[in-house]
Amino acid sequence: MDMTVTPLRPETGDDALTIAGVCLSSRLFIGTAGYPTQAIMRDAVAASGAEVVTASIRRVSLQGHGSDTVKILKGRRFLPNTAGCETARDAIMTAELAREALDTTWIKVEVIGDRETLYPDVAELIEACRHLVDAGFTVLPYCNDDPIVCRRLEDLGCAAVMPMGSLIGSGMGVANPANIELICRRASVPVIVDAGIGTASDATIAMELGAAACLVNTAVAKADDPVRMARAMARAVEAGRDAHLAGRIPRRGRAEPSSPQLGLVGS
């Protein structure tokens, strides 16, 4: 097992990722579920360089029983989530438990409306986010890739929005790049593409579209080599961000030579 630890590399200047006044060291967020072992999970998180790690508050050992994810990943910023909740009431109660148990106001809000697709229930999600923002939480909602829904969540006071790239765990990548690009262009809070990332190129595409960050879990946890994939994801996010800032050339329906035609030998 490669035990190389990728050091956190804080961004500086105007392009630093800041959420709720906190400057983050990486634009890659990583989940903690589904790894073959806790040791592999620990090594993959280290290789990713991610500062923010997510975990379901219903899975994390809060009393020290069994696999204690919090202790294993000490020093990272935990973003507990409300995975498994199907109503605003359940999500609110879970968030309150997370705040008390983990001493954090950060919460990723998930309210699932359909068990087959794991699509969010938008009405319940908005209700939960409104309550949690008013209660002093730093709210990062998982939502569908709808620009109007993202705008409403931003207007409620959410610190970021987390539109789905595609179905959770599907590995289909960014299914609707036009919507993600529109959300990124219009948002005044960070946009974190969440769900559906399957490999490093998917993360690069999301970042090229203007996302502030990507959240990955299954793509790393279920890879043949999770540690190597985590390292690839870290590089992919950096490459995508650089490409977005650099600005791509326009697409054309015809060839255009990169070298001038005048002055050729024999012309």
Among all residues, which ones are annotated catalytic? 108
Distance CA 204, CA 214 (A): 9
Query: Exposed, middle or buried, 228 (CB in 10 Å: 0-12/13-18/19+)?
Result: middle
Which residue, among 164, 199, 162, 208, has the nearest Cα to 52 in the 3D structure? Answer: 162
CA distances from 40 to 170, 198, 228 (A): 22, 18, 11
What values do phi and psi take at 22, rounded to 5? -100, 120
